[in-house]
Chains A and B, each alone.
Chain A
Amino acid sequence: MKFEWFVASRYLRSRRKQSFISIISIISIGGVALGVATIILVIAVLDGVEHGLKDRFLSNEAHVALSIFDHSFFKGYQERIERIEAIENVVAASPVIFAQIGVFREHSNTIQDAIYIKGIDTAQEDEVTGFSTFVIGSTDFQNSELIEQAALINEGETITGGIILGGRLATRLGVMKGDVLRLLIKLVESPIDSSMLLPDLANFVVIGFYESEMEAYDNNFGFIHIDTAQKLYNQQNRVNFIFVRLTDAELAPQLATKIEAAADFTVLEGMPNARTWMEAQAALFSALQLEKIATVIIEALIILVASFNIASTLIMTVMEKTKDVGTLRTLGSSRGNIMRIFMIQGSVIGTLGTMIGTALGLSLCWLLRTNTQRPSYWYIIALVVPIVLQFLIASQHAMRNRGGWKFAVGVLWLIGIGFALYCAVRPISLVDLGLSQIYQMHQLPIKINWVFVIFINLLSFAICWLATLYPAWQAANLKPVEALQHE
């Protein structure tokens, strides 16, 4: 291989021996590097967004919600919870009564709004969804001071208990802490006239607000104590949901069936249904997944285009060197020798391109997620130095023919561009872009998936290597005599 390297490395250089590497090689390397760098960067952003959204989404969401198919109530839930919590990788489970309920507007005698009610056991719910951490105000549903005060103010009315309302829901309903909210439990026949239906109302005192920054909760949910909910629906010792938290959210699909089995519902009770958070958010995350697949395909095409670049560079070199291939054959190079000379050339381009691309991609990722004070504008000076020197070299014949100068300027270019990137590439603020509300993140998230980085490296090597095959084969199969006579 020594001989092949000797020839190939010379062919990578330009005709003018002063240049370290020819322009055409640089362009080919740049093409591969750009493809690899962008694919690493874009996937890191998409992974970051997905991860960030999942994090946000899972911060107050159960990983699995177990119920009977028709959401009917069941008893013996504490035993079922114990069995579920005994499953490996289950962190905790909590009993929940989950229902939709109307908010009653007294003076107009109409239903103002429909909200979701979650009857919970605070301690158990904290284990599963971190409930208390999102509450501003009291979480003491039964004995809050506010309840006593409200009872005093609204003398003669029975206060059923406290309620914690989603912050935005509270704003929408126009209620404040300490206000009484009337919830419509059901309609009952009037004792006077059985054809008339009267609302059966329960009074709740607003004792706190739930602020999770998750729209679905903050805008639609009210939380009450589980005992209160059981009384309200006349379902003593029963619930209709068990919410489960796992050690790893990704395990949800695997553990769902185990959880269903542990629940052990009888035939009379009905079919179990363990719904994973992925199923609940299927639309969002499958869209993200699709986006990622599409991106990988598009970016792989970029590398493919870059590899065409390598192939065409090599084909051009082969054409340009046809006569020399003939000469090398007369000197006694075998087909294998010739093939390897051109494959080395292509592989060096592919390898350098992939390595530079990986370094660039990872550096950009790092710059985009590292919040440090960076100098602004000064980086222009870092670029001025090599630009000026480049002009000097171009105009001064004496300097142009000195390899050392070119090398030094090359290094200065690298430093200049590196410094400019360091200064110019900063974390992208989603707040400034007005996207922080939608994505619930302050800056563009970056998450590097190392397995994917390695995969892309291997893919790029493979594509570039394949791109060298045809031109190298073409060179190896030139007929010596015809190659010699090639003009």
Chain B
Amino acid sequence: MSNPSETLIRIIDLHKSYYDGESELPVLQGIDLEIKTSELLAVVGASGVGKSTLLHIMGTLDRPTAGQVIYGEQDVFTLQDTELARFRNKEVGFVFQFHHLLPEFNALENVAMAALITTPSNKTIYEEAASLLEYVGLAERLSHYPSQLSGGERQRVAIARALINKPKVVLADEPTGNLDRRNSEAVHELLWDFNAKSGQTFVIVTHNSELAEQVDRVVQLVDGKVVL
């Protein structure tokens, strides 16, 4: 386990603008942020301020207009597509507001998917996936397809999926934004559990003030910048 006080992610002067023809829409305007290993971080801010955009760039799904994202010593945007994909596969887990499960695959396969990308299918992967599903309380639902699961169950599968490759960081974009109160709490419990159990770093974008109170640190975005 890595040193809890160690910096895992460093974001330096990050800019992101969207362009529509000639006109520029600046969204992120110089984000500086350090995230420590095992930290449980919440990102809050008004709708449209650029929380999702920041999370996507942190997760290397999108490239910034300017600035750097450094994991350990690695400036990730110097990597080629294949290396970046490999990096994302190994080091980053995603949970979205909408579950984004693959409808053609059952719960077990959905959870195993990220591992199967790089490793030929084997029993260990499926055992690992099954134990994760068991942990999120879906031991009875392994062979169910997403369409056969409830909203809360789907989101729990999505959390299990984000963790299969034991990533250093899990990026969650309003993971409970689509759930009722009871389901939201169950999901939150799970996130805290994993954070405590495995020491993984969690960055959670949320509008939920209750949740924001339970984290290590809250980062607020205003006008494309971080205010503390």
Contacts and interface: CB of A to CB of B under 8 A. Distances in A.
A205 to B, nearest CB: 89
A324 interface: yes
B56 A331 contact: no
A332 B61 contact: no
B7 interface: no
A59 interface: no
Contacts of B227: none
Nearest to A2: B120
Nearest to B120: A2
A468 to B, nearest CB: 19
Contacts of B113: 328, 331
Contact of B104 (A10, A329, A332, A484): A10
B59 A6 contact: no
B86 interface: yes
A334 B79 CA distance: 12
Interface in B75-118: 81-82, 85-90, 92, 94, 96, 100-105, 113-114, 116-118
A335 interface: yes
Contacts of B61: 329-330, 480-481, 484
Interface string A1-39: 011001000110101010000000000000000000000
A78 interface: no
B145 A330 contact: no
A202 to B, nearest CB: 92
Interface in A434-487: 479-481, 484
Nearest to A334: B85
A337 B85 contact: yes
A275 interface: no
A332 B85 contact: yes
B88 A332 contact: yes
Interface residues on B, range: 20 to 34
Given A330-B61, A481-B56, A3 B116 contact: yes
Given A6-B121, A335-B82, A484-B96, A330 B59 contact: yes
A333 B56 contact: no
A236 interface: no
A333 B85 contact: yes
B62 interface: yes
A295 interface: no
Contacts, number: 74
B145 A332 contact: no
B103 A15 contact: yes
B120 to A, nearest CB: 5
B121 A2 contact: yes
Given A17-B145, A480-B61, A480-B62, A332 B100 contact: no
Which among A10, A329, A334, A480 has the highest number of chain B CB atoms within 10 Å? Answer: A334
Contact of B90 (A11, A332, A336): A332
A334 B62 contact: no
A479 B61 CA distance: 8
Contact of B100 (A11, A17, A327, A334): A327
A332 B114 contact: yes
A2 B116 contact: yes
A479 B81 CA distance: 12
Contacts of B86: 332, 334
A182 interface: no
Nearest to A326: B100
B91 to A, nearest CB: 9
Nearest to B100: A327
Contacts of B89: 331-333
Contact of A10 (B87, B90, B105, B161): B105
A323 interface: yes
Contacts of B90: 332
A3 B117 contact: yes
A352 to B, nearest CB: 19
Nearest to A17: B145
Contact of B81 (A6, A10, A326, A334): A334
Which among B81, B85, B103, B116 has the highest number of chain A CB atoms within 10 Å? Answer: B85
Contacts of B81: 334-335
Given A329-B85, A334-B81, A334-B82, A484 B118 contact: no
Interface in A289-320: none
A10 B100 CA distance: 17
Nearest to A9: B104
A330 B102 contact: no
Contacts of B88: 329-332
A289 to B, nearest CB: 51
B56 A337 contact: no
Contacts of B92: 332
B104 A11 contact: yes
Contacts of B82: 334-336
Contacts of A11: 104
Nearest to B158: A327
Nearest to B83: A334
A323 B100 contact: yes
Interface string B60-77: 011000000000000000
Nearest to A13: B104
Contacts of A484: 61, 96, 100
Contacts of A3: 116-118
A330 B94 contact: yes
Interface in A77-115: none
B226 to A, nearest CB: 21
B59 to A, nearest CB: 7
- Which 5 interchain pairs have the tightest Cβ spacing? A332-B89, A334-B85, A331-B114, A480-B61, A332-B88
Given A330-B88, A331-B114, A484-B96, 6 more contacts: A11-B104, A15-B104, A326-B100, A331-B88, A479-B62, A484-B61
Interface of A: 2-3, 6, 10-11, 13, 15, 17, 323-324, 326-337, 479-481, 484
Interface of B: 56, 59, 61-62, 81-82, 85-90, 92, 94, 96, 100-105, 113-114, 116-118, 120-121, 145, 161, 165
6 contacts: A329-B88, A330-B88, A331-B89, A332-B85, A332-B118, A479-B62
